[in-house]
Amino acid sequence: DAKTTQPPSMDCAEGRAANLPCNHSTISGNEYVYWYRQIHSQGPQYIIHGLKNNETNEMASLIITEDRKSSTLILPHATLRDTAVYYCIVRVALRGSQGNLIFGKGTKLSVKP
Amino acid sequence: EAGVTQFPSHSVIEKGQTVTLRCDPISGHDNLYWYRRVMGKEIKFLLHFVKESKQDESGMPNNRFLAERTGGTYSTLKVQPAELEDSGVYFCASSQGGGLGGYTFGSGTRLTVV
């Protein structure tokens, strides 16, 4: 079973920031928070990951609460092409570790004109 | 760099037939993973190769599924004989090391068993 909880769906206006929440209250100290998304009929796409510090890359920002029990993925200026299902996943990430990503149901983000 | 390539993109076969899916990972990626989404369900892990060795095959549903990665390059996933419940989308992914920087997924093979 997925160890994260996400809202099933969200809407966002084009050009506005999309803030996608995720609860992971049972996260362990050595588990990272990963975000992937799946645009219709494509494979999942890696977005960003973090351990405890906030992270930013060219796609998004990841804000992790101090107690690490929840996080928020931020798409700063959502476009129609960001419409997708977004998955929040927690996993241990060690060199040579097993690669089992546990996908839940994710959040279906609809970006509207 | 070229991404993860999967072939075929679609396959329709009859129940009882055999199908072989192929995955070409990103060059130099030792880690290769197979996942699948069957109708209405979540994406589930099938197995993980490190080079040519099976690191974890705990997600393989039964012995009708056989995965190989001869030479540690491309991988094949054979389903023999195929059943109706095998219909779904099969994804392959690859990564360097343990995947700390995330995996790169292919576009998947949509398998329909009729």
DSSP B18: -
Q: What percent of chain B lies above the pLDDT cut of 70?
A: 97
pLDDT for position A92: 77
H or E segment and range at residue B105 = strand B104-105
From B98, B104, B107, residue closest to A94, measured CB to CB? B98
Q: Tell me if the bond preceding B8 is cis, omega within 30° of 0.
A: yes
Kindly state the average pLDDT of the residues B28-53: 93
Q: Would you call B104 an interface residue with chain A, using a CB distance cutoff of 8 Å?
A: yes
* Helix or strand holding residue A4 (H, E): none
Q: What burial class does residue B71 get, using C-beta atoms within 10 Å of its C-beta: 0-12 exposed, 13-18 middle, 19+ buried?
A: exposed
Strands (E) across chain A are located at 9-13, 18-23, 31-38, 45-50, 55-56, 61-64, 70-75, 84-92, 107-112
- Per-residue pLDDT band for B100 (boundaries 50, 70, 90) equals confident
Determine phi and psi for A70, rounding to 5 degrees.
-155, 165
Residues in chain A within 8 Å Cβ distance of B50: 96
Q: What is the pLDDT of residue B97?
A: 73
Q: Which of B33, B44, B108 sits opposite A99 (nearest CB)?
A: B33
Cβ pairs bridging A and B (under 8 Å): 72
Distance from CA of A57 to the nearest CA of B (A): 12
Q: What gap in Å lies between CA A87 and CA A45, rounded to an integer?
A: 10
- A17-36 confidence digits (pLDDT tens): 999 999 999 998 888 999 99
